[in-house]
Amino acid sequence: MHKLRLLTLNALVVQVLVVASFAAGPVRETHEIQFQDTDPCSGTVHTVTIDFQDLIRNIDGRTVDTSHTTVSTSPTGYTGHGFQNFVVNNQMNNYITHVVLTNDAGNQIVITRVFILDLSTNQIIVDKLSSRCVR
């Protein structure tokens, strides 16, 4: 009987922890940025608009932000989407993004960025940006 009570108590504790973790669930945020850039297919300067739909959560002391991005450009007329992952803990700041854009002329751009910052030394470990015209 004592073991049954102990098991029941453990099951209740687990249920409380599960409910508490759902109660402190992820935060959803949206935001938009705009900036000038150069179309790698034509060399034309265009305005890039990125809409972010973020899902931010805390996982074992790490802040994790996973975003779906919708991207458009003007006047070059590219549209597309991508993703962004951003993870911060006490030691590292990791950022990865990947976007694919296509316009009515059939041109296609692939953008990839990887950025890693060592927070203990404030040194950039990796900072690579690739914006390529693939067709």
Structural tokens at position 121: 């030394």
**What is the domain partition of the chain in residue ranges?**
27-133
Tokens, residue 13:
């504790």
In tens digits, the chain (135 residues) has pLDDT values of 433 343 333 333 334 343 444 446 789 999 999 999 999 999 999 999 999 999 999 888 889 999 999 999 999 999 999 999 999 988 898 999 999 999 999 999 999 999 999 999 999 999 999 999 998
CA-CA distance, 38 to 78, in Å (whole number)? 12
pTM score, whole prediction: 0.73
What pLDDT is recorded for position 18?
39
DSSP secondary structure letters along 34-81: EEEEE-TTT--EEEEEEEEEEEEEEETTEEEEEEEEEEEEETT--EEE
**Closest alpha carbon to 63 in 106, 95, 16, 111:** 95
- Residue 24 confidence (pLDDT): 62
